[in-house]
Amino acid sequence: MSDWKNIKIDGVAKIQKCVGEFLVYEIGRIPSTNFRVRVYEDQNGRFTGVTNLGLKSPLDGAPEFAAGSGKSVEEALEDTVNYFMSELNKRTDLTEEDFEWADPDDF
């Protein structure tokens, strides 16, 4: 079989490969001791990360899951965690109701 990046299927816009899943341990502000970050590579060699824990918007309560990108797995992981932490640090007096976990079937 050819390299997965070269697969072209009629009707499929793109394919991404999960290239890493990481547990990130945060110190005391989230409703658990850790959250997960998954990093995906696309067919063009770009890497993106996404968290399984989102902060709910203070405006409408919709969860906002952190995402980041980079030229490597490590860069995407770091960018994603930095973004999540910067959003977390903008907020005070957070409670468990301010967070939402991604559905396990979606993450």
Domain interval for residue 20: 15-101
Overall number of domains in the chain: 1
Question: What is the rounded distance in angstroms from the CA atom of residue 5 to the CA atom of residue 77?
Answer: 21
In a domain? residue 106: no
Q: What is the pLDDT of residues 41-95, one digit of tens each?
A: 999 999 999 999 999 998 999 999 999 999 999 999 999 999 999 999 999 899 9
Predicted TM-score (pTM) above 0.95:
no
In a domain? residue 3: no
